Amino acid sequence: MSLRPRAHIHLSSIAYNWRAIKAAQVTGITGAVIKADAYGHGLREVAETLHDAGCDHFFVAHAFEAEATRATLGSHPNIYVLNGPSPDEEALYRENALIPVINSSFQFRTMADWLVDGVKMPRGYALHFDTGMNRLGLPAKDTSELADASAAQAPVLIMSHLACSEDSGSAMNAHQAEQLKTISDAFPNVPLSLANSGGVWLGLDYHHALTRPGIALYGGGHPPEGLVLKPGLTLEAPILQVRQLAAGETVGYGGSWRAIAPTLIATLAIGYGDGFPRSASNKGFVSLGGKRCPILGRVSMDLITIDVTQASDLARPGVYGQLIGPDAPLEEQAALAGTIGYELTTGLTPRVKRIYQS
């Protein structure tokens, strides 16, 4: 019996979520963001699953992720590199027919140098304009200049990124949508993309030609009432030991939790070395057979300790407890740890065994 923590990756659930997002769109094509190893779920496996489901537009952060995606999916889909090109990557982009997302004047010049001899990019390129995020993106004031400079090869996509899409009441959303509309006037007939997962839930004005859902594919984020997404993974860890504490005894480093009554505790083989956050100390929980068992004391590198007093009939060495999944919702667990679902799934280390289920 292995004592490693494990993550069951539910590929059929990820495909289900993509279809649910697609159905929620009023217009436009539904893409998929699979950067950071598909948010910790496995880039190759997830890319293949979504492509089989009908997805033809994939977004990654780095060119090496795009290269792996191309090797997995073959020549058909469009693969966009969100962080943009480096001057030494021309051959990689051309050989793999990658679509660079241009975020700065430096990157625009880089790509312009690649077009000097009139050899166009195989799948074109996208221009990313900053409309309020103030992270990556071309300044809106350079729109006319960039439109003129694009004569050698027009962009295949004009895009921006929503800063506050999780807050449907934020005025920033409408402001960014209006900014993108103004920018688009300089690029007639070029498709637009603005919506991430949260942007899809904002409705028609944000869907445009192409959406870029990420966390929602994996069952995270905050979909509208009535739309239920399925967990992309179930994270589990085995119990190593069960012991009885007397009142007054403490648990873990620093003795940060003290028993006020006799307490049955169990130690599980998972910790921050596996990607489960230390910030969940004394806050998170583990589900044993649907019974919630609070985390006691500090999360250490390899171990956590939980209160199994109310699950004594289930708690024994070798039994797996669930930390993320149907009985331990991703965003709830993340909130208890003071973080977000993105960080919990992308943070899972190679020590966690991935088990793929179709």
Question: Which are the catalytic amino acids?
Answer: 35, 253
Could you tell me the CA-to-CA distances from 268 to 49, 259, 282 in Å, in that order? 32, 19, 15
Contacts of 266 (CB under 8 A, 6+ apart): 239, 241, 242, 243, 293, 305, 306, 308, 315, 321
Q: Are 337 and 283 in contact (CB under 8 A)?
A: yes
* 206 burial level (CB within 10 Å; 0-12, 13-18, 19+): buried
Four-CA torsion 31, 32, 33, 35, nearest 10 degrees: -130
Token couple for 186: 């300089």
* 302 burial level (CB within 10 Å; 0-12, 13-18, 19+): middle
Question: In this structure, how many other beta carbons lie within 10 angstroms of the beta carbon of residue 134?
Answer: 8
Q: Are 50 and 38 in contact (CB under 8 A)?
A: no
